[in-house]
Every structure is written in C-alpha cells, then in structure tokens.
Amino acid sequence: MNIIYDDSKRVFHLQSGTEDNGTSYVMQVHKNGYLGHAYWGRRINNVNIDELLVLAQRVSFSANPEEGNSLLSLDTFPQEYPAYGKTDLRVPAYSIQLENGSTIIDLRYDSYKIINGKPALSGLPAVYAESADEAKTLEVTMIDKLIGLKVILSYTVFKDYNVIARNVRFINEGTTDLKILSALSMSIDFDNYNYDFLHLHGSWARERHIERRPLIKGNQSIMSRRGASSHVHNPFIALLNKDATEDNGEVYGFSLVYSGNFIAQAEVDQYDTTRVSIGINPFDFSWLLKPKETFQTPEAVMVYSSDGLGGMSRTYHDLYRSRLCRGEYRDKSRPVLVNNWEATYFNFNAEKIEAIAKVGKQLGIELFVLDDGWFGKRDSDNCSLGDWVVDKKKLPDGLKDLAERINKTGLKFGLWFEPEMVSPDSDLYRAHPDWCLHVPDRSRSLARNQLILDLSREDVCEYIIKAVSDVLRSAPISYVKWDMNRNMTEIGSELLPPDRQRETAHRYMLGLYRVLDKITANFPNILFESCSGGGGRFDPAMLYYMPQTWTSDDTDAVERIKIQYGTSIVYPVSTMGAHVSAVPNHQVHRNTSLKTRGDVAMSGNFGYELDLTKFTEDEKEHVKEQIAEYKELRHIIQFGDMYRLLSPFEGNDTSWIIVSKDKTEAFAAYFSVLAVPNGPIKRIKFKGLDAKKNYTIEGKEGIYGGDELMYAGIPVPVLEGDYQSVVWKIKSV
C-alpha cells in the first residue's frame, strides 16, 4: 500500500494491497488543472504518464475549453470527476445549479493531502481502518473559483485489501445557494469497451440473480427508485474482460455503501471509451447547499481482480466481513437459530413458543427468534406497526417472562421489529398522522397495509430509538431482526420546505443510519440481522450496522441455491441468513429432502424456520446431526474463503467450496436440481486448497493430495432423484 506523488509531473500513484496481489490507480493533474484519469489495474511500479494519458485531436463536435488548445476537449479527456457542459457532453458525475439557473461548473485542481488511515464519512456508513497503518487516504481538493465551490475527492488504499474506496464532499465556500442535482460517488473512464457488464437483479423471493452481457454503445444502467437498494437491483456492477472467467482474467467491481435510491451505469461513447459511475440516483433527487454547508456522498468500493470474478468476490468478502461489519459478532460464530415465522405466522402464544424452544434445545439450537405478531393487536399484517407494546392476549405475562422462559430452556431469545413503519390502524398513527412520508393533498398509498415513517424527521427518529430501546431494555434480548416491508411512494416530508422536498429520500437514509448507529451502539451485545421482505435491502450499508441479513423470504432449497450463489458475488457467507423450512415449501410449494434443505442452509448462517414440534423422531435425529455438523464446521463456513465451482445460472448443477484461511479444513457442497437419466460421470475439481498438503475426506477411504483434489478432482456420487445434494468435509493430515 502506498500513495506516491510525483511533483514534477503532478502524478498521483495509488497502490492498494500487496506487491503480488495489488492494484495501481494513477491520475494526473493536467497543466490547466483538470484531473485526468490515467490507469487502474494490476499493480505496476513505474508510471510513464505520457504513455498512459494520451490526448488526441478530435473533430469540432467535441469543443475545446481552452482557446488555442485544440488537443484538449473534456469530451474525450479521461477524467476523475467530470461535469457536463464545459465541453464534456458525456454522462456527468455531478451536476449543480447556481442561483442564476446555470448548471456549468468548472472544477480545477487546488491541492492534495495524504492522511494515514481512513477518515469516517460524516453521517454515512463506510469501510474503515482499525489503525492508521492499515490504510492511506488521498484527498484531492478541486475548486470552482467563480462560485467558491470546493469538492474533495477522497481515495483510500489498504495494506491488506486490494481495494480503492472513494467518496466525495461538496463544500459551499461561496456566498450564494447551490442546488446539487446529482452527486455520484465515483466516476472512471476506461479507454475501451471490450467488457461484459455484470449485475445482480431480481424481485421479492428471487433476489440477486446474475446477469452478464456485453457492453453496448450508449448508456446502460441499473438503478433503484424505490427508496431502498431493493430486491430488483443490488447496488453493484462489474465490468469483466470478455475472456474473464470465475478464476482468470480482469474484473473491475463497483459496490456502493448505500441503502437508498442508487444508479450504477456504464456509458460507451463515440470513441469506444467507457465511463462507469455509481452513486445516489439523481432521479427525483436534489440538495440545497447553502453557504458553508457540506454534502457528503456515500462511499463506492472498487475492486480490481486479475483472478476473475472469484478473486473479486473474495476481496469484497474479506473487506466487508472484517472492515465493514462491526461489533462483537464481527468475528464471533453466529448462533444456530429457530424462527417461528413460517411455523406459526401470527398465530402463537407463549406456550407454543416455549414448546418450539424446548424441542430446539434438544436438537442443539442456540437461539429462538420471535417474529412478527408479538405487539399491539397484531393478528394479521393490517395493524399495530408503530405500537411496540407487547400483546397481552398472546403473551399475558409479557416479553420479559417469555424471554426468561426461553432462556430457561437453554436458548437465547431474539425479537423481530419493523421500526421504520406505521400501520394506519395504530395508536402511533392516530396520534401523529403527519409522521409518515406523504405529500400534501394526495392519498397515501398502502403496501402490506402500512405506511413508512418519515425518518428525515428528527422527532420520528427519536421516537424509534426510544421505542425500540425500551423494549430491548425490558427483557433479556440477544438478537434483533430489523425488518422493512415496503418501498417508498408519495415521497415527501411535512417538515421540509418545497425546495427541499427532493431531499426527503436521502434524508430518510441519513435518519435511518443515525437510528441504527444509536441503537447498535447502545446494545453492543445484541446480534442484529437486517431484513427487508428477505433481501430487499441486502447492501453494504446495512452490514455496517448489522453484520448479517435475511437473504430472502424464499426458503425453498432449490431457489436458495441461485439466491445464495448470486449473493456471494459481493457478500460473504457470514452475512447470509439461511434456514431450513417445511415442505411443501411455503413460497414455491416444492418438496425437497431434509438433507438437501440442510445442505443448502448450511452454506450460510444456519437456522430453522418451521414448527420443530411437528418433527418425527427420525427427523429429530437427522436435524440433531445437521446441527452438530454445522457447529463443527461453522468457523470454516462463516470465516473461510469461498470458491464457486459450478454456477446454477449455467446448468443443472451447482457447487462451491469454503476453505479455512489456513487451508487445513474445507466444506464443499454440490447440488443437482433435476435427475438426469443415464447421465455422464461428473467430477468436481476443488479450489483454494493447498496443493502441497494432504487431506482426508469424511466418509471416504484414503489420503488425497491437495493438488489431486484441485487438478484431478473427485467423482460426484451417482444421485437418484431430483433436488439432490452432496457435501464433503475435508481436513488436512
């Protein structure tokens, strides 16, 4: 890791990661003060800047900002943070309107600063350095002298992680108001478009499916306008060299640490260059920046990998697991839990809950999670959100009593909340009908019978902090599931003036982050899991506050193979909640074996979500073994390196292996969806093992070389029937 500045040529050379697995990122201050982008890729030592940043004479349709210099047009010059209109006519990284209506901004280089470590982002989650020697940060200050706008471009490189983290601060040092119309977190210009565009798309119960397609001329983007990062698109894209595979070739990843409306885009221009940017979606957004005020963008985390998509994923996994997630549970094994949602839905009482917990204890489960329905008069989803007071009809002796009874069975107790919401049928709404997002004179559209509280308001945030904290203090609660079950409509806030209404959605996020910061800091021993109808807000920002997420409301083992595989493109296994549920499955009505359901769920934070009291004795024995097996393996599964072996998006079979960091142990899984008549003999070639070590595989005779397991592989047993799975437990000898 290093940041080198060559004063003679005004070149910044950032080096992230290590000598042999590192990245170089090079930029140059052009003689007129524009900040040019020269290189991002595999680490280099020398920089011949004139070979990297080449200017070419272009036609008159690309205008020149400097008289007499027809070589320079910002329309063709690769830039670090481009604006539209001052000769660059491509997609801008930001846009600002002045009081006179103009949107022309002309930022020029002013100064730079190199900081040891990584400063926090005001009000926003971000990756962090634990000590000053883990990271270095370059801050480049750009100024538009005419209006007194200062823009600070921040770049952090890490010693142990091959990433570059970027963010931008806008400071109004002028005397007039500025209106930010867009402020993306990063922009970068590639000198060609010979790439594929990869992103993760989906819907409720079908999150993060992988799509890879060639870049085409023009703009291609994914985005959210839903007020959440959403089930539909994840705030992540990657460009892959055409020949890049899972294990080889160059891949460039872009991940946004943000939970709200975002855009991620790649524009291929007339000269075949590609401009990539990611940040807050400018759609329906603006921000009034008064003199002396600062606007901070979210952080973009960029990963370059020369080891294919798998190399990129493992870099994100390591960074997000260790330097984004925080708190006691960051490095601690996650408990095996049972959640009562699919077991009882709203129909439970204390006796039923205790009965499930008692069986759970016999089976080896460590935590009971009481899901929706414990508060207000919530017997269905049509009321009571906002009234975080226990329902005495269901739990006559209160939460404390129930939690203690669960504790007595030997399990910890966890609780579900949906704190950002309000039901129209609630005491909270009756008292404060203005506390939800809404616009004047328009009806308030319901989704799942609920409205969204206006977290851009401080009083609403304070209410949530107090209401949730009071409950958490009232009983021995060890885990919280923080749910959020609708997207935003009629976005507006009663307290904001008309010219700030378009700030509402981002102010909501800032409010949410403040609430989460406060609550998670006040209850450091509680394990928090985020959820949004499953994976509707599975994003890096949420992981900063809550180190795991309920991956999907779809608990069907076959559907989960794709969802968990797609999620692993960016997110580590330790962040994915995965439960065994009943058959026929409640979402797709499919029947799969207990073994397959267990094997899929074991590749995540393991748990059960069914009525344990309904198990037969045989099933109980099987589940006991599953849980014991998971406990034996979870240090590998939750903290090891994941290698994807076969993709469910490319065929009938899926496989992955998770290898402990010291390469002495591994857990591998193989899934076959449909039975193939008279099919071929299949071999699985493992990855990530030590070629020089010898290993045993549980249930198989003999000793296997790591080289043998990786280069020759082992045959997959012949499987009979649909939805089959095999797991291998591998240990070095």
The answer to whether 238 touches 222, Cβ cutoff 8 Å, is no
Q: Is 416 annotated as a binding residue?
A: no
- DSSP annotation of 710 reads I
CB of 260 or CB of 533, closer to ligand DGJ: 533
**What is the phi/psi pair of residue 157, to 5°?**
-115, 155
Q: CA-CA distance, 538 to 553, in Å (whole number)?
A: 12
Structure tokens at 60: 């008159």
CB of 281 or CB of 485, closer to ligand DGJ: 485
CB of 208 or CB of 644, closer to ligand DGJ: 208
Residue 534's nearest CA partner among 584, 583, 586 is: 586
Q: Is 710 annotated as a binding residue?
A: no
Catalytic residue from among 106, 391, 425, 553 = 553
CB of 485 or CB of 596, closer to ligand DGJ: 485
CB of 143 or CB of 531, closer to ligand DGJ: 531
CB of 275 or CB of 579, closer to ligand DGJ: 579
Q: DSSP string covering 270-286, please? A: TTS-EEEEEEE--TT--
Residue nearest ligand DGJ by beta-carbon distance:
372
Tell me how far apart the 2 most distant CA atoms of the chain are, in Å. 87
Report the run of H or E that residue 200 belongs to, with start and end.
strand 195-201
Catalytic residue from among 269, 483, 599, 641 = 483
Q: What is the dihedral of CA 543, 333, 314, 258, to 10 degrees?
A: 0
Q: Is 6 annotated as a binding residue?
A: no
CB of 15 or CB of 340, closer to ligand DGJ: 340
Q: Is 243 annotated as a binding residue?
A: no
End-to-end CA distance of the chain: 36
Q: Is 483 annotated as a binding residue?
A: yes
Q: How many whole angstroms from its chain centre is CA 46?
A: 35
Residue 300's nearest CA partner among 326, 267, 277, 283 is: 277
Q: How far is the CB of 543 from ligand DGJ (least distance, A)?
A: 17
Q: Is 275 annotated as a binding residue?
A: no
Q: Is 383 annotated as a binding residue?
A: no
Q: How far is the CB of 544 from ligand DGJ (least distance, A)?
A: 20
Q: Is 470 annotated as a binding residue?
A: no
Name the site residues for ligand DGJ (rule: CB under 6 A).
341, 371-372, 416, 483, 485, 531, 533-534, 550, 553
The answer to whether 674 touches 689, Cβ cutoff 8 Å, is no
CB of 327 or CB of 607, closer to ligand DGJ: 607
Buried b (16+ CB within 10 A) or exposed e, 645-669: bbbbeeeebbbbbbbbeebbbbbbb
Q: Is 485 annotated as a binding residue?
A: yes
Residue 240's nearest CA partner among 230, 227, 253, 229 is: 253
Residue with tokens 């590639």, as numbered in its chain: 190
CB of 92 or CB of 536, closer to ligand DGJ: 536
Known active-site residue 144: no
Known active-site residue 483: yes
Q: How far is the CB of 361 from ligand DGJ (least distance, A)?
A: 23
Report the run of H or E that residue 368 belongs to, with start and end.
strand 367-370
Provide the residue count of the chain: 733
The answer to whether 247 touches 313, Cβ cutoff 8 Å, is no
Specify the amino acid at residue 175.
Answer: T
Q: Is 481 annotated as a binding residue?
A: yes
Q: How far is the CB of 345 from ligand DGJ (least distance, A)?
A: 8
6: left (phi over 0), alpha (psi -120 to 50) or beta: beta
SS3 472: helix
Q: How far is the CB of 540 from ligand DGJ (least distance, A)?
A: 19
Any residues with CB less than 8 A from the CB of 495 and at least 6 apart, and which? Answer: 454, 456, 457
Q: How far is the CB of 201 from ligand DGJ (least distance, A)?
A: 19
Q: How crowded is the C-beta side of 410, counted as CA atoms within 13 Å?
A: 11
Q: CA-CA distance, 649 to 668, in Å (whole number)?
A: 19
CB of 288 or CB of 578, closer to ligand DGJ: 578
Q: Tell me if the bond preceding 584 is cis, omega within 30° of 0.
A: yes
Q: How far is the CB of 709 from ligand DGJ (least distance, A)?
A: 38
Any residues with CB less than 8 A from the CB of 181 and at least 6 apart, and which? Answer: 95, 96, 97, 103, 282, 285, 286
CB under 8 A, 24+ apart: contacts of 82-86: 82/187, 82/189, 82/275, 83/107
Q: How far is the CB of 532 from ligand DGJ (least distance, A)?
A: 7
Q: How far is the CB of 424 from ligand DGJ (least distance, A)?
A: 17
The answer to whether 419 touches 468, Cβ cutoff 8 Å, is yes
CB of 195 or CB of 550, closer to ligand DGJ: 550
Q: How far is the CB of 371 from ligand DGJ (least distance, A)?
A: 5
Report H helices in 398-554: 398-409, 427-431, 458-474, 504-522, 540-545
Q: Is 394 annotated as a binding residue?
A: no
Q: How far is the CB of 567 from ligand DGJ (least distance, A)?
A: 15
- Provide the annotated binding site for substrate: 204, 371-372, 448, 481-485, 531, 553
Active-site residue numbers?
A: 483, 553
- Provide the annotated binding site: 204, 371-372, 448, 481-485, 531, 553
